[in-house]
């Protein structure tokens, strides 16, 4: 077991292909190394965790907002503490919610309670080629994700024109002067170029920074530490884009109802995703800014935690349109969630 954990961050806007990229890493990851995933989703009902492949992978899921927002920062720090003291993986992959600002992550990894366990390695920003230009004009979080990433993966290029891809690169360069670009489908890049898994001599190891190692904390001591951190006047958290999520339960038995709902959704809806069951078959519904699919995910039904539940994400003004669209079939509103409201 390694004495430190290499950390890789995977931001990208909603529906860009972050989970697909995660699965590519898992597929090529060496069996003799310990890998842990931290998957962060915006809505109350998580879907991405079910789509992650690999039965022997340690995974931690945090929903109800961004791990870079104070609303769930407590859960994030507690999760990192558990990883640093108990799990102790060789590599940690963090898939952040598509509306996150990741700029505070490196600071969190250096908190003294982790005893230099975490070593930040790389940040891959997944860019959705057909939808990036429109989203970049509205959502500030995209600028933050690009500016702090050294690798930009322009994904789904088969659905975008060469002019759109060129314009996407121009926008990216406004926020990052010299990114490493990959143009691809299914987030397929030479992963081995970035995952050496063996530290070089210059890497920081626990206790080597000159600071004394902190003793392991009790649950109460950890709560006090986090409360003090969140109350600190030095805490900097960039306000995220104002978005809401709402979950609907589908009680129908014909997927044509789901398709009718998708066709009626307003253009302001950014993302919708969930599993629906028809005639005993599990289907994955995926909606990204007007484009949608419903297909067989080849996932056993017993792995799906939330069957027949669709999570919708959009600005507040999209909620009424979602309610109207779900009147086309048998849908039950499970409640709206706005993680960033006070």
Spatial CA neighbour of 232 closest among 111, 332, 115, 150: 111
pLDDT bin (cut points 50, 70, 90) of residue 157 is very high
What confidence score (pLDDT) does residue 64 get?
A: 52
Mean pLDDT over residues 47-66, rounded? 59
Q: What is the mean pLDDT of residues 201-227?
A: 66
Domain extents for the chain?
Answer: 5-231, 244-337
Domains 5-231 and 244-337 share a fold: no
Asked whether the predicted pLDDT for residue 322 surpasses 80, the reply is yes
Tell me the mean pLDDT in the region 244-271.
91
pLDDT at 57: 66
74-127 confidence digits (pLDDT tens): 888 888 999 999 999 999 998 876 555 676 777 888 899 999 999 999 999 999
Spatial CA neighbour of 18 closest among 96, 123, 91, 92: 96
Of 149, 72, 152, 82, residue with least CA distance to 118: 82
Share of the chain above pLDDT 70, in %: 80
Six token digits for residue 142: 């995209």
Enumerate the H helices of the chain as residue ranges. 18-28, 48-51, 70-82, 105-109, 132-136, 140-147, 162-175, 219-231, 256-264, 319-325
CB count within 10 Å of CB 233 equals 5
Instruction: Choose which CATH entry (3.40.50.410, 3.40.50.620, 3.40.50.2300, 3.30.1220.10) describes domain 244-337.
Output: 3.30.1220.10
Better-scored residue on pLDDT, 1 or 305: 305
Name the CATH superfamily housing domain 5-231: P-loop containing nucleotide triphosphate hydrolases (3.40.50.300)
* Each residue's pLDDT tens digit, 30-46: 888 889 988 876 544 44
The phi and psi torsions of 181 (rounded to 5 degrees) equal: -95, 145
What pLDDT shows up at residue 151? Answer: 95
């Amino acid at each position: 077991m390694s004495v430190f954990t290499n950390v890789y961050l995977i931001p990208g806007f909603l529906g860009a292909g972050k989970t697909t990229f995660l699965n590519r890493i898992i597929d090529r990851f060496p069996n003799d190394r310990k890998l842990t995933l931290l998957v962060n989703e915006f809505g109350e009902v998580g879907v991405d965790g079910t789509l992650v492949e690999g039965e022997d992978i340690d995974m931690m899921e945090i929903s109800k907002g961004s791990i870079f927002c104070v609303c769930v920062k407590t859960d994030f720090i507690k999760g990192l503490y558990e990883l640093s003291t108990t799990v102790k993986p060789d590599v940690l992959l963090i898939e952040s919610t598509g509306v996150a600002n990741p700029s505070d992550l490196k600071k969190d990894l250096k908190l003294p309670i982790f005893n230099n366990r975490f070593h930040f390695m790389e940040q891959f920003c997944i860019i959705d080629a057909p939808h990036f230009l429109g989203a970049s004009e509205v959502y500030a979080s995209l600028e933050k994700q690009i500016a702090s990433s050294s690798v930009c993966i322009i994904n789904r290029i088969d659905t975008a024109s060469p002019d759109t891809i060129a314009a996407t690169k121009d926008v990216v360069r406004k926020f990052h002067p010299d990114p490493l670009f990959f143009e691809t489908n299914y987030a397929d890049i030479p992963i081995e170029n970035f995952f050496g898994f063996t530290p070089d001599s210059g890497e920081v190891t626990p206790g080597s920074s000159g600071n004394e190692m902190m003793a392991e904390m009790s649950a109460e001591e950890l709560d006090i530490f986090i409360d003090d951190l969140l109350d600190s006047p030095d805490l900097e958290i960039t306000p995220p884009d104002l978005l809401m999520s709402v979950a609907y339960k589908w009680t129908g038995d014909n997927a044509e109802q789901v398709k009718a709902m998708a066709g009626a959704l307003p253009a302001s809806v950014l993302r919708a995703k969930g599993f629906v069951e028809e005639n005993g078959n599990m289907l994955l519904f995926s909606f990204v800014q007007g484009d949608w699919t419903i297909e067989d995910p080849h996932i056993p039904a017993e792995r799906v935690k939330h069957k027949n539940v669709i999570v919708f994400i959009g600005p507040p003004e999209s909620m009424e349109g979602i309610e109207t669209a779900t009147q086309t079939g048998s849908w039950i509103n499970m409640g709206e969630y706005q993680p960033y409201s006070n």
